[in-house]
Amino acid sequence: MKIVIIDYGAGNIQSIKFAIQRLGYQAVLSKDPEKIKAADKVIFPGVGEAGSAMRKLKESGLDKIIPQLKQPVLGICLGMQLMCAHTEEGDTTGLGVFDINIVKFTTPVKVPQIGWNQITDLKSSLFSSVAENEHVYLVHSYYAPVTSQTISKTNYGGEYSTAVQKDNFYGVQFHPEKSSVLGEQILRNFLSL
Amino acid sequence: MLTKRIIPCLDIKNGRTVKGVNFVDLRDAGDPVELAKLYSEAGADELVFLDISATEERRKTLADLVLRVAEHVNIPFTVGGGISSIADVDILLKNGADKVSINSSAVKNPDLINELAGKFGSQCITVAIDAKQINGEWIVHLVGGKVPTTLNLFDWAKEVEQRGAGEILFTSMDNDGTKDGFANDALAKLSENLNIPIIASGGAGCIQDFTDTFKIGKSDAALAASVFHFKQIDIQELKSALDAEDIPVRR
């Protein structure tokens, strides 16, 4: 299986590569459109600020490539947010794969949310063998509201989407590569799609 | 519900855990990776590696260690100790650290917080603050509590938040090593004044201390070293006890 992690200079890609390695697979880091298109599974990571990450995507032309992909694609954290229509962070237009506008958490909750929270209303084969209310690791200040594309919800001052799906595109707000055994199960599920 | 985090802290010198760790069931208790794996399997929510080496090669040694930890450990970890530039942070994050912790370098050059938060995002920038009380006022200290500054803890913490830190790790030098509990009054005040997560550090001696810092100190996370390293507190037992007190924890 060819697994490509999109390497556009905005993500904790080493950790994702290692997590996949722990599952017995080898992933390739690449920003080459041909390699990405030829992959069986594509992982789109992202850490940092949305505006600058989006600029890096555009510089490499990947903003045009990613929405056209036909194989399973998993956006992680900021990767998921950039796959949405828009994010409040830096008033940034996203890739528009998901019809979702990302907004910032507001008081009384602390921002960023850092730590382990529960996932509920699980709706996709991405969550095969994952029980309701299990904990995943999250670090973020902006979130996806609940929509028809939501496949997992979490409560932090109200319910929001911790995972979304449209066709072959999946996005998770949490970090499966840092979510212990449960995160490894979710990554394994993605690789089995 | 967002859970309260339990964070073992590992002191690292020249790529090895420093003496004072007592794990008979580890092949090599001096190997931070072995210890980190053991803690993640025991239910730790996060790990902190605090580098206390003072050698020329320390940066490379630490970066190599971070890469090895990221390869083998499936929970988040923070790296601190001697970090003072964007280049320092860049290599640690690239090698797989989830967060970095800065302390003295932030006091000496507060703009560093803005620069790091702007470049890497607030979520991966933890500012560690060591403080102790002098004539009833909480004063920020440097060099492990040895050198007092002119900064008031609460003013500095507010400034740190405004400059873009994602989290504060507060160590009370008055409580550190006492095993008499965390500095819950100061922690509660920090939590009320600020809108970013606060990690309590210094003073953990028994399970009740953790209950108190989450209930009275309003802490978001609690960090400890020796009570875990010497197995005075088992993480699963600790979490069961917290759960019984209706404190949300990951089980």
Contact residues on chain A for B120, CB-CB shorter than 8 A: 47-48
Classify domain A3-191 at the CATH class level. alpha beta
Identify which of A38, A35, A40 has the alpha carbon closest to the alpha carbon of residue A20.
A40
Identify which of A40, A62, A43 has the alpha carbon closest to the alpha carbon of residue A192.
A40
- According to CATH, the superfamily of the domain at B5-244 is Aldolase class I (3.20.20.70)
Strand partners, B130: B141, B171
pTM: 0.95
**Residue A177 at interface with chain B, using a CB cutoff of 8 Å:** yes
Ranges A48-57, A118-127, B1-10: which has the least confidence: A48-57
Contact flag B96-A12 (C-beta cutoff 8 Å):
yes
Q: What is the pLDDT of residue B28?
A: 67
Which pLDDT band holds residue A168 (cuts at 50, 70, 90)?
very high
**Strands B137-142 vs B147-152: parallel, antiparallel or unpaired:** antiparallel
Residue B234: burial class (beta carbons within 10 Å; 0-12, 13-18, 19+): middle
The angle at the Cα of B101, spanning B95 to B107, to the nearest 5 degrees, equals 135
Which pLDDT band holds residue A25 (cuts at 50, 70, 90)?
very high
Q: What is the pLDDT of residue B22?
A: 53
Rounded to a whole number, what is the distance in angstroms from the first to the last CA of chain B? 13
Strands (E), chain B: 5-13, 16-17, 47-51, 77-80, 99-102, 125-134, 137-142, 147-152, 167-172, 198-201, 221-224
Which pLDDT band holds residue A107 (cuts at 50, 70, 90)?
confident
Most distant CA atoms of chain A, gap in Å: 46
Rg (CA), chain A: 15
Residues of B known to be catalytic: 11, 130
CB B120 within 8 A of CB B142: no
Token couple for B160: 């740190």
Contact residues on chain A for B75, CB-CB shorter than 8 A: 137, 178-180
CA dist A52 and B119 (Å) reads 9
Catalytic one of A59, A140, A177, A184: A177
Q: What is the mean pLDDT of each run of 10 residues along chain B (251 residues)?
A: 97 81 60 93 97 82 95 97 94 94 96 94 94 96 88 98 98 93 98 97 97 98 93 95 98 89
Q: Please indicate whether residue A177 is annotated as part of the active site.
A: yes
CA dist B233 and B228 (Å) reads 6
Size of interface A-B (CB pairs under 8 A): 96
Touching A: B residues 147-166, CB under 8 Å: 166
Identify which of B90, B31, B75, B129 has the alpha carbon closest to the alpha carbon of residue A47.
B90
More confidently predicted of A38 and B13: A38
**Residue A29 at interface with chain B, using a CB cutoff of 8 Å:** no
Contact flag A15-B124 (C-beta cutoff 8 Å):
no
What ipTM, to 2 d.p.? 0.94
Q: What is the pLDDT of residue B56?
A: 76
